[in-house]
Structure 1
Amino acid sequence: MAKDWAAVSRAITTRMEELGLKQAEVKARSGLALQTVRELQLNLTSRDRPKRTLAAMSEALEWPSDHLSLVLEGKDPGEAAGSDLMVPTLRAVVAEFKNLRDIVERHEAELVELRALKAAIQSDSAAGKETRPDEPR
């Protein structure tokens, strides 16, 4: 199948507009030369490029690394890389669960301390001692 550099160009231009990026910003994100970014975005030269070039451009545009390679081959990157699109979301969910687990563990430790304090106060109360929370024992 012929390589569709025009489709790659359209995809890049559309994505840059969606993200509000200029060529210089894509250059900085991708590590590619500005001339390479221009050539890809404007389809100035339809020549083979290293896979890493399209991967860097894809990642700079917040796509999975194989996105533009799939576009070039005429494939639908949404279907081919559907599971890859979920990876960042799943990582964020896992990170949030870890954060929540840490919070719960801290609250459980505080609850243990509060229960011990309550038991001590009840014990003192039962023994007839008057204690105030602000007084040392």
Structure 2
Amino acid sequence: MDEDWAAVAGAINARTADLALKQKELAERSGVSLAIVREIQQGKIQRRRNPRTLEALSIALDWHPQHLSAVLRGENPPEAEAPATTADDPVVAMLGTIVRELRGLRAQVGTLSSRLESAVSGENEKPTKSR
């Protein structure tokens, strides 16, 4: 399946211009990190994303939750009034964002914990100066 991230970037950029939204505002409205919003809008880093990321952005842009997913696949996006499935519930999308953020924080805490343990064990191994 071909993914057209340039089309997604173009759609988001056009819509944010129409709505006079800045990247930071889009990130806040969608619950998607500013770095991810920037990556998608610039279209420089094209990688598989969680579908909920595009759903959250679509909802924040006042589109149908599947709008950007359809654009990515080269399909005609559904109308904003089209019924959304329960998987498209904005609360579900927001929970997905929260889970991703928690996983990122857990990884950061693990890294900091490892560094702290290394630093403490390194201090314990240093020879003390005798007077």
TM-score per shorter chain, which class?
Answer: 0.5 to 0.7
Give 2:42's aligned residue. 42
**In 1, Cα distance between the equivalents of 2:81 and 2:76?**
16
Question: What is the CA distance between 1:44 and its match in structure 2?
Answer: 1.9
TM-score by length of 1: 0.58
| Residues 64 and 81, structure 2, Cα contact 8 Å, conserved in 1 | no
CA distance in 2, matches of 1:54, 1:86: 18
Matched with 1:128 is none
SS in 2 for 1:75: coil
> Contact 1:5–1:43 at 8 Å: present in 2 too?
yes
Q: Which residue of 2 aligns with 1:10?
A: 10
Matched residue, 1:20: 20
**SS of equivalent to 2:55:** helix
Once the two structures are superposed, residues 1-49 of structure 1 have per-residue CA deviations (whole angstroms, 9 ceiling, x without a partner) of 3100000000000000000000010011001110000011111210000
The answer for the alignment partner of 2:53 in structure 1 is 53
Q: Return 5+ residue gaps in structure 1 as ranges.
A: 89-137
The 3-state SS of whatever aligns with 2:69 is helix
| Unaligned 5+ runs, structure 2 | 84-131
Contact 1:55 1:66 in 2 (8 A): yes
Larger RCO of the pair (alpha carbons < 8 Å, separation 6+): 2
After TM superposition, the structure 1 = structure 2 runs for residues 1-137 of structure 1, keeping only pairs within 5 Å, are 1-77=1-77, 81-82=78-79, 85-86=80-81
Structure of greater Rg: 1
- Over the aligned positions, Cα root-mean-square deviation in angstroms equals 1.4
Query: Which amino acid in the other structure matches residue 70 of structure 2?
Result: L
- 1:87 positional shift: 5.5
Task: Give aligned pairs, total.
Answer: 83
Counterpart code for 1:71: V
